[in-house]
Copies of this chain bind each other. A is one copy, B any other.
Amino acid sequence: MAWLTATYLIDSEPERIEARAEALAHEQSVECPLEAIADQRVLDEIVARVSAIEPVAAGRFRVDVQIATQTIGSDPAQLISMIFGNCSLWDNVQFVGLALPPELLARFPGPRHGVPGIRALLGAPERPMTNTAIKPQGLPVSELARLCRTFALAGVDIIKDDHGMADQTYSPFVERLRACQRAVREASAETGKPSFYAPHLIGPPRALRERARIAREEGVRVVLVAPLVIGLPAFADLVDEFPEFVYLAHPSFGGATRIAPALLFGWILRLFGADAVIFVNHGGRFAYAPPECAAIASALRAPWGALRPALPVPAGGMRLERVEELLDFYGPDTMLLIGGNLLIAREKLLERTREFVERVEAYGRAASGAPA
């Protein structure tokens, strides 16, 4: 018998925390009163157990619950359901930690490329990396392809669709994919520096799969996916079926949960196969504090069984002026994503994007002690 440990923060009066923790353990396993269970094996092997309760603040406790791995198998959907299914509906419970025993962890291959695969693809063994988005949605395909070309000429490593782009009439998926892929490839051939276009794959599973197939046919190497929008199990399935793509995970719809950001955007997305994870950086349009951002980046890169490290991609209203500060904070195993703050340059877009690329790469040279 093996058990995983899920950790929760529970707000409770001290005299009720033991009962609340037990109730959570039952909710996440047998979902019925213990008195309704006659089978001793179920009581011994299936009922989840509270293994630790620790006060962390006034009226708040950190609770470890051990959940039997035989309730999960290797199904990613069932993993979600067992660790944070029903108890996600409880007030004052937040899911903050997950420790998988080696044999369960071994069933999840995690990132198929991760940091080393992305660095190899980009020909960037050490330096921090750059990312931008073509936007706004609503532009015709020809305009989007022109943006792709400009960004690739400026040397951006990965040029992604804005995550609002799907298969709209004003820029149909296949047409956009072909035009942008070609624009980036041609510009990259001109500069001699590899740049990659990452189309956004979104939709119900059958549409998603068809779009992934087309992207593969067109030679796409990197794709953008929002795992919480399409559903974590659908994301895991896509990674499994199309392991050749580098998966850049977008955080959209990820706020609709009570999962700690580092757990969701760090550990869980990596477990399910994201190679690089976009998350909302401190000081931008979103409210995560620096320690939360550091915890996400750390979870993505920390040693974890045989899983490859995934690449942190802080984003969300980043400004060019912050490049060095961000790299001081995150270190070189980082891809910076700046979008709108490049586009405000309008007709000077190529120059401003070049400055972005140059500042990131200069930082990398300085950090590695290479000549400038």
Binds B, one of A53-61, A70-78, A326-334, A363-371: A70-78
Minimum CB–CB distance from A181 to chain B (whole Å) comes to 21
A233 contacts the other chain (CB 8 A): yes
Of B233, B251, B258, which contacts A234 at CB under 8 A?
B233
A116 contacts the other chain (CB 8 A): no
Per-position 1/0 for A339-369, Cβ under 8 A of B: 1110110100000000000000000000000
- Given A90-B286, A203-B78, A234-B230, is A32 in contact with B254 using a C-beta cutoff of 8 Å? no
* Subset of 28 A-B contacts with CB under 8 Å: A30-B135, A31-B133, A32-B135, A33-B344, A36-B136, A39-B139, A75-B166, A75-B203, A77-B204, A78-B203, A81-B166, A81-B229, A81-B252, A82-B164, A85-B229, A85-B253, A86-B163, A86-B251, A88-B252, A88-B253, A89-B251, A90-B285, A90-B286, A205-B233, A207-B237, A229-B233, A231-B231, A234-B234
Query: Using a CB-CB cutoff of 8 Å, which residues 74-124 of chain A contact chain B?
Result: 75-78, 80-82, 84-91, 93, 95
Per-position 1/0 for A47-72, Cβ under 8 A of B: 10000000000000000000000111
Tier of interface size on chain A: 35 or more
- Given A31-B164, A168-B70, is A81 in contact with B258 using a C-beta cutoff of 8 Å? no
List chain B residues, Cβ under 8 A from A133: 31
Query: Using a CB-CB cutoff of 8 Å, which residues 26-46 of chain A contact chain B?
Result: 27, 29-33, 35-39, 41-42, 45-46
What is the copy number of this chain in the assembly? Answer: 2
CA distance A137 to B344 in the complex (A): 56
Of B86, B164, B346, which contacts A252 at CB under 8 A?
B86
List chain B residues, Cβ under 8 A from A230: 77, 231, 233-234
List chain B residues, Cβ under 8 A from A209: 205
Query: Using a CB-CB cutoff of 8 Å, which residues 205-237 of chain A contact chain B?
Result: 205-209, 226, 229-237
With A32-B343, A90-B255 known, 13 other A-B pairs at CB within 8 A are A30-B135, A33-B344, A36-B343, A47-B136, A71-B168, A75-B204, A77-B166, A77-B229, A85-B164, A88-B252, A88-B254, A89-B251, A90-B285
CA distance A241 to B206 in the complex (A): 10
Which of A47, A85, A343 has its CB near the most chain B CB atoms (within 10 A)?
Answer: A85
